Amino acid sequence: MAPSLAPALQRRDLGRVDYAATYAAMQRFTAEREAHTPDELWLCEHPPVFTQGLAGKPEHLLAPGDIPVVSTNRGGQVTYHGPGQVVAYPLIDLQRAGYYVKAYVYRLEEAVIRTLTHFGVTGHRVAGAPGIYVRLSDPFDHAALTGPRPGGDPFAGLGKISALGIKVHRHCTYHGLALNVAMDLEPYSRINPCGHPGLRTVDLSTIGVTTDTATVAEVLSQELARRLTP
């Protein structure tokens, strides 16, 4: 196990691990943890897999082909995990940390935004659509998104670079977020990402940032630690 990021958050670097086995391990950790169990942050990559959230509708899974589909108990619709993506699973006791689910989601998104800032990219929130988005025309434009989007489409001119889906059981979180670094993005064409037909998905590589998953994971883990620990 890597050194602690903070007294209450232990970091585990899992490498490339099977999704279903990791999901089962998160459930087991959460079910077995006690009042004084330290919070953990698991960082990993997964082999190609589509995952369906509790609200997942089959019509959003267009043509999975040879990529397996795993049903989960996280929130949200279908998304894709694969090599070249940093996946972060914070296992946090929210009651002990002293904030509620809405604040937790905000902190996750803020950690992604700050991580993107480290690479010169501006991340944006879209109301009602958890995750982080970038301007396709200029991902390095620091101006805020203002006013109605063209044609009333909240995703007009945007690409999704980070997906978020969580589960809270007895005040304790699992599942988490994914940040796209340098992926094969073709599998996203086989789904309606997060249930939004036509939503474009991007990674740091396609918007002009040259880096690797280890570097991004290091920055993201530090940003998460700053925001998730009491």
3-state secondary structure of 148: coil
Alpha helices in 33-173 (DSSP H): 94-97, 101-118
What are the backbone angles phi and psi of residue 52, rounded to the nearest 5°?
-105, 135
Chain centroid to CA 15: 16
- Return all residues near 196 (Cβ < 8 A) that are at least 6 apart: 129, 155
> What is the distance between the alpha carbons of residues 119 and 147, in angstroms, rounded to a whole number?
26
Q: 């589960």: which residue's tokens?
A: 167
Tokens of 56: 């997942």
Catalytic residue among 108, 166, 194, 199: 194
What are the backbone angles phi and psi of residue 209, rounded to the nearest 5°?
-105, 120
194 flagged as catalytic: yes
3-state secondary structure of 136: coil
Contact 83, 183 (CB under 8 A): yes
N-terminal to C-terminal alpha carbon distance within the chain: 22
Active site residues: 194
